[in-house]
Structure 1
Amino acid sequence: MNKQTFSLQPFASTESFPNLKITGNISRNANQLTIYYNLGGDLKEIAIVPPSNAPSRKYELWEDTCFEFFLGIKDSPRYWEFNLSPAGHWNVYRFDGYRQGMQEETAFEKLPFNVQNQADGLAVTLDVDLDKIVSAEQEIEVGITTVIKHKNGEVTYWALTHRGAEADFHLRDSFIIEL
């Protein structure tokens, strides 16, 4: 098993939110990928969609607070974007290359993950079998990201690293975790 911890950094913005911290870990055991996010700090100013009684596949989850990760096959332009809403909604998109050929990934009919409100934050855990999209022998590169929407409407973009002049989670240079 290959397990790595992470800490996300906000993209340089006009306003700083030093009281927030996004950490976690990611691992791949055979072809089972597990990712755990912990959003800690003072969350009273964060817009978090309440849990849904019927979580489902939804579009444009990145317009609100959303935990995301991007997964690419090493030495291939193809990659996937996984979106996890604190409300329990989700989606997975497949791309043929940098922001090209975006399609909903139909290999996943559901993406069950766990969201827990904690005294000092929010925890999100996903356990997903990657057999539907990559083989266990293929090396993958992962970019871990989060969109945080504040109650005042401002949005901040968090990632392992920011390699562009603008916040751009699709830049393959930022898929820096290898599993």
Structure 2
Amino acid sequence: MNEQTFSLQPFPSTKSLLNLKIAGNIARNANQLTICYSLGGDLKEIALAKPTGGIAPPSNAPSRKHELWEDTCFEFFLGINGSARYWEFNLSPAGHWNVYRFDGYRQGMQEETAFEKLPFSVQNQADGLAFTLDIDLDKIISAEQAIEVGITTVIKHRDGEVTYWALTHLGVEADFHLRDSFIVKL
């Protein structure tokens, strides 16, 4: 098993940042990928969709949704070493999700239909939130293929301001799709 811990950094901005910490771990065992995020700090200032079954959003079950990145969203980007193709995984605190496949840098974006559901857990903790996703990658890659991962998060503040968090920020603007930022090797 290959396991690594991570800590995300905010993209430099002019607005003072809330007292937040986004950290976690990612592991690959054969072709099973597990990623756990921990969001801690002053969460009352963050716009968080309530987990399904709560008061909002008014849905009975988590489902595939588009444009989750317009609100608070936990994301990761997975690429095959030596290939331009990559996938974007989006996880909402409400339990909604989506996976997109790209042929190259921001090219050929399509919903990845290999996944019909993406079950993950969202747990309220005394000092924050924890997200855990355990997924079998056999539907998109083989266990022998080395992967590169970029781990990211979009945080929407109650005032509408959005901040972008990642392992590293290599562009002049926040850009999670830059392949050089897929720095976790599994």
Q: 1:32 is matched with which residue?
A: 32
User: What are the superposed Cα offsets for residues 108-132 of structure 1, whole Å, 9 maximum, x if unpaired?
Assistant: 0000000001110000000000000
Q: 1:85 is matched with which residue?
A: 92
SS in structure 1 at match of 2:43: coil
Residue ranges of structure 2 left out of the alignment (5+ in a row)? 53-59
CA RMSD in angstroms comes to 0.6
SS in structure 2 at match of 1:173: helix
Q: 2:124 is matched with which residue?
A: 117
Counterpart residue identity of residue 16, structure 1: S
Q: 1:65 is matched with which residue?
A: 72
* TM-score where L is the length of structure 2: 0.95
- Which among 173, 176, 185 is matched to residue 178 of structure 1? 185
SS in structure 1 at match of 2:138: helix
SS in structure 1 at match of 2:45: coil
Mapped partners of 1:3, 1:40: distance in 2: 22
Q: 2:161 is matched with which residue?
A: 154
Q: 1:20 is matched with which residue?
A: 20
* TM-score where L is the length of structure 1: 0.99
Identity of aligned residues (%): 84
SS in structure 1 at match of 2:69: helix
Q: 2:49 is matched with which residue?
A: 49
Q: 2:7 is matched with which residue?
A: 7
1:140 and 2:147 equivalent? Answer: yes
Q: How many residues align?
A: 179
Residue ranges of structure 1 left out of the alignment (5+ in a row)? none
Query: Are residues 50 and 18 of structure 1, via their aligned partners in 2, closer, same or farther at CA, if it must alter by over 3 Å?
Result: closer
User: What are the superposed Cα offsets for residues 116-164 of structure 1, whole Å, 9 maximum, x if unpaired?
Assistant: 0111000000000000000000000000000000000000000000000
Counterpart residue identity of residue 132, structure 1: K
Q: What's the offset of the Cα at 1:51?
A: 1.1
Counterpart residue identity of residue 175, structure 1: F
Q: What's the offset of the Cα at 1:18?
A: 4.8
Q: Is the 8 A contact 2:2 2:28 kept in 1?
A: yes
Counterpart residue identity of residue 103, structure 1: Q
- Which among 94, 100, 108 is matched to residue 101 of structure 1? 108
